Amino acid sequence: MSHHDENGAEHVRALIEGQRIAMLATVTDDGTIASRPMTTQQVDADCTVWFLALASSDAAAEIRRNPQVNLAFTEEGRWVSLAGRASVLEDPQRARELWDDSAQAWFQCEPDDPKVGVVRVDAESAEFWDTPGKVGTLVAMVKTKVTGERPDIGGSGSIEL
């Protein structure tokens, strides 16, 4: 099911809220896809996702050349794939707003250092899968054995953001 749904953005945000790591996929010079883990700094209500990255990193260079990206979030029972457009900003004020102890440990500098880039991903669409987790899935499978009915192990969907 694919549709535009304001509540869908809320559902997607709820699924990724608290997931600290996302896999960011970019397009390399030769057209292949490269993925790397990124620490999620913030997720806005409209599913705009914010990261901090080295301004000189391969990921930043790839985004500058081709802004089409994908973010994958996975946590037991919750999976989200966001497709969208990214940009690398030189924005010390925004970097300060996103800065935390993990950023300090990673960058070993202050947020206004020019080596710190702010990566903004404007999500355009999302696909998601939401299950009740291991225990809920196990209960649904046992119920299926007893009733012979198809198990209810959650839902999935696609939305335009």
Query: pLDDT tens across 148-161, in order?
Result: 666 555 677 788 98
Q: Which residues contact 125 (CB under 8 A, 6 or more apart)?
A: 2, 82, 83, 84, 158, 159, 160, 161
Query: pLDDT tens across 132-152, in order?
Result: 654 444 444 445 566 666 655
The residues facing 26 across adjacent strands are 34
Report pLDDT for 158: 86
Domain range list for the chain: 2-160
pLDDT at 2 over 50: no
Report pLDDT for 90: 96
Q: What is the mean pLDDT of the chain?
A: 87
Query: pLDDT tens across 104-142, in order?
Result: 999 999 999 999 999 999 999 999 998 765 444 444 444
Q: Percent of the chain, pLDDT > 70?
A: 82
Query: pLDDT tens across 5-37, in order?
Result: 557 899 899 999 999 999 999 999 999 999 999
Query: pLDDT tens across 35-72, in order?
Result: 999 999 999 999 999 999 999 999 999 999 999 999 99
pLDDT at 76 over 50: yes
User: Which fold does the domain 2-160 belong to in CATH?
Assistant: Pnp Oxidase; Chain A (2.30.110)
Report pLDDT for 3: 44
Report pLDDT for 154: 62
Cβ–Cβ < 8 Å for 126, 80: yes
Return d(Cα 123, Cα 136) in angstroms, integer.
30
pLDDT at 1 over 50: no
DSSP 99-112: --HHHHHHH-S-TT
pLDDT at 80 over 50: yes
